[in-house]
Amino acid sequence: MDYKENIIPHDHQIKLKDRIQKYGFEPKLLWFTGLSGSGKSTLAGAFETWLFNEGYHTYILDGDNVRSGLNSDLDFSDVSRKENIRRIAEVAKLFLDSGVVVLTAFISPFKEDRQQARELVGVANFIEVFVDTPLEICEQRDVKGLYAKARAGKIPNFTGIDSPFEAPDTPDVHIETAGKTVEQSLNELINQIKTKLK
């Protein structure tokens, strides 16, 4: 038998609309996508600080807090990468329902997975932020030394090296970081995104 038919919703007394009314803003998911080293986490962190100071309740989901905990059972195979993105989107959906603006910073190289995340949380809640930094620059920076390892064959299926990055065709927000300071990129992000947040 299908167990799911036995899950009967309770009528929670505090609804999302109550939270929106009390907190004074509408929760959205800002989905940062880009190569390793593109500046996703840096930019998401800087933008979160801005949002927090503006009075939004915010949270960042990224490899640091998700891969080490909830998704620690997943490896980097194609199946696990897909499950990784699914769970991130599901967790983001819970945060949105709690009234929090969520920022996710994952390479998320595949269009299909990003589309799945968009549909899962609801198209109107999803803002795709493409942090567009050329591979050459990411590889030059190589903050974590990962590109060197990938080039040496020590990390298989590394995005940009031996696994593709499918850039968004029509991202909601598009930030080219090359030649810009973090502050400049942040200002551009704020300008592009602020009309999408209430």
Q: Is 169 in the site for its own copies (CB under 8 A)?
A: no
**Residue from 21, 24, 54, 65 binding its own copies (CB under 8 A):** 65
Two structure tokens written together for 25 = 């803003």
The span from the first CA to the last CA of the chain, in angstroms, equals: 44
Give the binding range for its own copies (CB under 8 A) out of 44-52, 109-117, 165-173, 175-183. 44-52
Q: For its own copies, how many residues bind (rule: CB under 8 A)?
A: 53
Secondary structure of residue 98 in the 3-state scheme: coil
In angstroms, the CA 15 to CA 171 distance is 30
CB closer to its own copies, 173 vs 186: 186
Q: Catalytic: which of 41, 108, 163, 185?
A: 108
Q: Are 173 and 127 in contact (CB under 8 A)?
A: yes
* The binder of its own copies chosen from 21, 24, 54, 76 (CB under 8 A): 76
Binding region for its own copies (CB under 8 A) out of 110-118, 146-154, 159-167, 173-181:
146-154
Contact between residue 166 and residue 35 where contact means Cβ atoms under 8 Å apart: no
In whole angstroms, the minimum distance from the beta carbon of 11 to its own copies comes to 8
Q: Can residue 4 be called a binding residue for its own copies (CB under 8 A)?
A: yes
CA proximity to 116, closest of 96, 93, 94, 136: 93
Q: Is 17 in the site for its own copies (CB under 8 A)?
A: no
Own/partner pairs, 143-147, CB within 8 angstroms, 24+ separation: 143/37, 144/36, 144/37, 146/36, 146/37, 147/36, 147/37
Residue 108 a catalytic site member: yes
10 binds its own copies (CB under 8 A): yes
Given the complex with its own copies, which of 68 and 195 has the nearer CB atom?
68
The whole-angstrom separation of Cα 57 and Cα 99 is 8
- Residues lying near its own copies in the complex (CB under 8 A) are found at 1, 3-4, 6-14, 18, 22, 41-42, 45-46, 48-49, 52, 57-70, 72, 75-76, 87, 90-91, 93-95, 97-100, 144, 146, 149, 154-155
